[in-house]
Structure 1
């Protein structure tokens, strides 16, 4: 979608971090923007912050874990702007429980936001975009953690692996309808994701943090430090805007030797296992 001016976008997790940066970049490109977020006060502040950039920026409260809430937010967007062309399924939370204390509540919450939230966005907006026939683009926020297992046994990584796969599969199916897909796989970005528990609904139980002395607690502390020195969300949003215009499937914000090395090691192990399976099959047949 090269022509964005005058069209409309919907962004979840739009009150802060990458979502807010996406909203600002899309507004600067001349789009009408609906920011959606579960954090109402922050959402109001975000909309007010962007008023001087794009007068057609609005906000709607939305809990992406609830399909009805997403549908209501979509209706508010249609009522405000008419056709929606760009959908950014960006809302996400950090969390998990490692192997010492596997919390079903943590896993359900993370998967409901990071995975089902993306699905709810696709399910709600895709029929609309197909029906208006003006083309469109869907951006799904995953993570570099969705491509390697450096975080260990993690609900976050599991959810992001799924989002990468969903996006790849979706791209092939909706390309004939003039709808593009981008999966955003950022590394460490300066957001408040380590404070995700502030928005955790009561139905998932109280926010749980790992024991600082445990391996999960040590990893969480390391991640928090790397996030503090991470990439500016606006830099991420700029790359996503380019991907929308160029119809690029993947956005990798970090591509230095360490990140690339982790991917190469994983892919090499997979290919080596396939080669080993082929050798064993040949031995059985001989």
Structure 2
């Protein structure tokens, strides 16, 4: 789908990090922006910057809140016109800096999965019916992570984070397949950031509820988060490069938009391990399944 001047994009987590990089790339092309974020100060700063390039409407939004999401969508389309590009980018991670014993709580799960997965689903559920109703070309970009492809041998990023990001990859793959099978003009891509120069760890701690991250743990975790974010700043891609990658990915209708090859070796090893774990030989079920799939595709 071409990124056209005067069209409207809705970007969550748009006031900083990858979301801001994507918003900048769109603003440079004259796309009107509905910018959603939970951080009011960051939202104000990003809006002031981007408003020099295009029309911007800011919306304070917790992506876990379905009712608020729908209300913001109504307001965005009323002010800017139909949304043809949805970027579900808001994301958090606190599990990477916790011990398993600390991470295994419903509160951490609800926070991380609530933002990273439910937030994506809330965006899709809110905007996809609108896109289908408006007709014409549209596109959805969901931000996952290299941690949505593999658990790195060096260390885990926290099982809640991995779970949420693996799910976003699968959600997007299945969504794209379903849209194509039914002949809709809505595309879907999954952004797979590796190392990107953001402050995701510090920002995640800042927005985490007290129930997920008790006050007694915050100082210690803030030090760890600072170390992690410093490494991203040193080795990660800059957010503007990632923004341009997303624009190219949407234009070319690519399913996967990885920002680097961080996961390549571990993904190859994981795939090989899965293949080796599968039973050898074929069963009658395999033959029946092949026949059914060929019939579905109209083959013989």
TM-score computed with the length of structure 1 as normaliser: 0.88
Pair 1:206-2:210 in alignment: no
- The C-alpha deviation readout for 1:143-179, integer Å capped at 9, x for no partner, is 0000001243521111000000000000011232111
CA contact (8 A) 1:167 1:181 kept: yes
Partner of 1:271: 275
Instruction: Give the deviation of 1:185 after TM superposition.
Output: 0.5
- The C-alpha deviation readout for 1:237-256, integer Å capped at 9, x for no partner, is 1100001111011011112x
Instruction: Give the deviation of 1:224 after TM superposition.
Output: 3.5
Instruction: Give the deviation of 1:77 after TM superposition.
Output: 0.7
CA contact (8 A) 2:198 2:229 kept: no
Instruction: Give the deviation of 1:51 after TM superposition.
Output: 1.3
CA contact (8 A) 1:98 1:154 kept: no
- The C-alpha deviation readout for 1:215-238, integer Å capped at 9, x for no partner, is xx98x6774443122110111111
Instruction: Give the deviation of 1:103 after TM superposition.
Output: 2.7
Partner of 1:12: 12
Partner of 1:65: 64
Pair 1:147-2:149 in alignment: yes
Pair 1:241-2:243 in alignment: no
- Which segments of 5 or more consecutive residues in structure 2 lack a partner in the other structure? 284-300
Partner of 1:284: none
Pair 1:183-2:190 in alignment: yes
Size of the alignment, in residue pairs?
272
Partner of 2:94: 95
Pair 1:131-2:133 in alignment: yes
TM-score computed with the length of structure 2 as normaliser: 0.84
Structure 1 residues 20, 186: CA separation in 2 closer, same or farther (over 3 Å shift)? Answer: same
CA contact (8 A) 1:89 1:121 kept: yes
Matches within 5 A, 1:247-258: 247-255=253-261
- Higher mean C-alpha deviation, range 39-48 or range 195-204: 195-204
Instruction: Give the deviation of 1:57 after TM superposition.
Output: 1.2
Partner of 2:290: none
Partner of 1:227: 232
Structure 1 residues 164, 62: CA separation in 2 closer, same or farther (over 3 Å shift)? Answer: same
- The C-alpha deviation readout for 1:15-56, integer Å capped at 9, x for no partner, is 1011111111111112111100010111011100111111x1
CA contact (8 A) 2:3 2:29 kept: no
CA contact (8 A) 1:145 1:160 kept: yes
Give SS of 1:189's match. coil
Give SS of 2:139's match. strand
Distance 2:35 2:226 in 1: 30
Give SS of 2:140's match. strand
Structure 1 residues 280, 205: CA separation in 2 closer, same or farther (over 3 Å shift)? Answer: same
Structure 1 residues 222, 279: CA separation in 2 closer, same or farther (over 3 Å shift)? Answer: farther
- Which segments of 5 or more consecutive residues in structure 1 lack a partner in the other structure? 282-286
